[in-house]
Amino acid sequence: MIEYLKQPWAWYIAGPLIGLTVPALMILGNKSFGISSSLRHICASCVPANILFFKYDWKKEIWNLLFVFGIFLGGALAVSLLANPNPVEVSPKLAQDLAGYGITHFNNLVPQDIMSWQSLFTLRGFIMMVGGGFLVGFGTRYAGGCTSGHAIMGLSNLQLPSLIATISFMMGGFIMANLILPFILSL
């Protein structure tokens, strides 16, 4: 059984399992799936400031913090118990394309040339990590949720704003991967 769990799961198994999270949350507690809101709950509980955005009854959303903790705990257990000892394989074509940008060192699919403590203090690393993190956080707040909240929960509830947000996320990803990222990597 453990060996089966260590193998990658096909999309037609993993996708429906993720999708079934939505009706399970709705049936079990009339809750909405979303991860980005947990940061707001943490800030509201830990930093009792006089900021209107954080003035709400965050204790009603404690389930969300437990859900996120469960995701973290599940990931930690998976890494410690189900980790594949073999190095992650990068497609030779992708490795060749990235080598053209000077990215040659990987650690479990993380390009060490741009995602490490040493590269944080370079222009390219700073743009990628700090600038990218700011844009993700700003976009999540501006869109009223993250990709999982909109694409999984919002679309399953047939919400037009979630459809618009998901299309925007996809367009932004395509533009980033094909136009902006090659420019940043050439710095």
Residue extents of the structural domains in the chain: 90-187
pTM of the model: 0.69
Q: For 147-172, what is each residue's pLDDT tens digit? A: 888 888 888 888 999 999 999 989 99
- Per residue in 96-130, pLDDT tens? 888 887 777 777 667 777 778 888 888 888 888 88
Q: Report yes or no: 154 and 166 within 8 Å, Cβ to Cβ.
A: yes
Contact 33, 21 (CB under 8 A): yes
Radius of gyration of the chain (CA): 19
Residue whose entry in the numeric block shows the structure tokens 């030779």: 92
